[in-house]
């Protein structure tokens, strides 16, 4: 897995249920009860219709690479000890796109549309990061 030494997210009231779900290794996202859309990053209103009527729903934890880049050098910044890093936008099966890191990958296999699945990096007592790898059985 990854050895996280870079800045971590700030947990607030809106995002706390999300971070609690990743801590439990069962990612949940908000789904609007009005338009039934999922959204990410957590917030108090639906990103699609503006409704405040939503629920937290466990998601499959699968998706595809929407875009990616490789960070190969990071001299003198918080990512210096983590390179190389594969940074990806992941389109989850439920629709939302989130930014994460890839692990356990071969650079030559990375491509847009590659099926991926979530794993969890327990960083500390408060933060567990969702990270992604190539899907074992797409």
> What's the pLDDT at 74?
78
> Which distant-in-sequence residues (6+ apart) come within 8 Å of 57 by Cβ?
28, 29, 30, 31, 38
> What's the pLDDT at 45?
97
> What's the pLDDT at 81?
77
Which of these, 114, 136, 130, 137, lies nearest to 61 by C-alpha position? 130
> What's the pLDDT at 4?
58
How much of the chain, in percent, has pLDDT values that exceed 90? Answer: 75
Residue ranges of the chain whose pLDDT lies below 50: none
Give the chain's domains with CATH numbers.
12-59 (no CATH), 60-138 (2.40.50)
H or E stretch at 22: helix 16-23
> What's the pLDDT at 3?
62
> What's the pLDDT at 73?
85
> What's the pLDDT at 33?
98
> What's the pLDDT at 133?
96
* Three-class DSSP category at 82: helix
């Amino acid at each position: 897995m990854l050895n996280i030494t870079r800045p971590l997210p700030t947990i607030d009231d809106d995002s706390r249920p999300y971070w609690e779900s990743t801590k439990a290794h069962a990612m949940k996202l908000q789904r609007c009860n009005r338009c039934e859309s999922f959204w990410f990053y957590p917030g108090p209103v639906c990103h699609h219709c503006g409704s405040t009527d939503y629920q937290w729903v466990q998601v499959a934890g699968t998706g595809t690479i929407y875009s990616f880049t490789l960070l190969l050098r990071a001299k003198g910044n918080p990512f210096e000890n983590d390179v190389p890093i594969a940074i990806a936008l992941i389109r989850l099966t439920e629709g939302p796109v989130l930014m994460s890191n890839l692990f356990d990958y071969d650079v030559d296999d990375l491509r847009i549309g590659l099926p991926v699945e979530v794993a969890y990096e327990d960083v500390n007592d408060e933060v567990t990061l969702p990270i992604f790898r190539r899907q074992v059985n797409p």
